[in-house]
Structure 1
Amino acid sequence: MEEQTILTPEKLQYVLNEYKDLLLAELPGQIERLILFGSYARGDARAESDVDVMVIVNWPQTRLPNGFYPTYYNDPRWRKIIDLATDMMLKYTIVISPKVFSLERFEDGGEPLTREVKKEGVDLWQKNQILSTPGSPERMKD
């Protein structure tokens, strides 16, 4: 496998658009929102950086009595999201790290990861919403 390099903004957008299209085709009506976060969203990515993507789905994910949420590890839909990210890695030598959250869990915002994504995330796609600049990500908060 080739050595991973820092992605140009154009290449990043191209790869993320392809990943989005695959997710929407393979899981029709189930994806609510896609958000880029982490080093690529902040603009401080390095050659070894992965591409962090929050995949927000409309599947139920009820909080457990201990305050945690159950994982989707045994759900074939979750496996599909991971498999598509793996396909992208093999095709482009890019590591996409999807984090799958239900809409309710994301909106709850009580976890450090959701707070980080809400603070620095860049919207890639949202169901029933047109971004103000088609084809380019929108920063969630300045």
Structure 2
Amino acid sequence: MPKRIPANIRKLMKELKEGLARIYGDKLKAVYLYGSYARGDYREGSDVDVMVLLKNYRDYWREYHRSSDYISDISLKYDVTVSYILIKEIQWKEEDKPVVRNIRREGLPA
């Protein structure tokens, strides 16, 4: 992660990736930081936008809730709001939705 990213956010992303690996195991393919922190135009109070890339899942909300308590704990620990989305590997490779294009362009792997 580039040095222009604040140290606390670099640390958060490292810890987040490790924790998500414990939750999702082999399903976890990658974790990306995107949005204002990835672009470098964050301000005080900016949220931390995270994309969680999973191999596959059937029920988005079921998978989302598997990690929601952990994400809340990380948010409290680092005193920031972590906003996250899950994306299937096939969507990452094949879809052309604006959010996917945006993350491909500016996202930074954890």
3-state SS of paired residue (2:16): helix
2:102 aligned partner, one-letter code: E
Say if 2:69 is the partner of 1:72. Answer: no
Say if 2:101 is the partner of 1:122. Answer: no
Fraction of identical pairs, as percent:
29
1:51 equivalent in structure 2: 48
Gaps of 5+ in 1: 1-7, 62-70, 125-142
2:82 aligned partner, one-letter code: I
Which has the larger Rg? 1
Normalising to structure 2: TM-score of the pair?
A: 0.88
2:6 equivalent in structure 1: 9
2:86 equivalent in structure 1: 100
User: What is the CA–CA distance in structure 1 between the aligned matches of 2:106 and 2:78, rounded to whole Å?
Assistant: 25
User: What is the CA–CA distance in structure 2 between the aligned matches of 1:54 and 1:112, rounded to whole Å?
Assistant: 14
1:84 equivalent in structure 2: 70
Where does 1:28-47 land on structure 2 (aligned, <5 Å)?
Answer: 28-47=25-44
Aligned length: 106
Structure having the larger proportion of residues in helix: 2
8 Å CA contact 2:45, 2:80 repeated in 1: no
3-state SS of paired residue (1:110): coil
8 Å CA contact 1:35, 1:123 repeated in 2: yes
Normalising to structure 1: TM-score of the pair?
A: 0.69
3-state SS of paired residue (2:60): coil
- Higher RCO, Cα 8 Å, sep 6+: 2
Name segments (4+ residues, structure 1) moved above 6 Å. Answer: none
Gaps of 5+ in 2: none
Alpha-carbon deviation of 1:9?
1.6
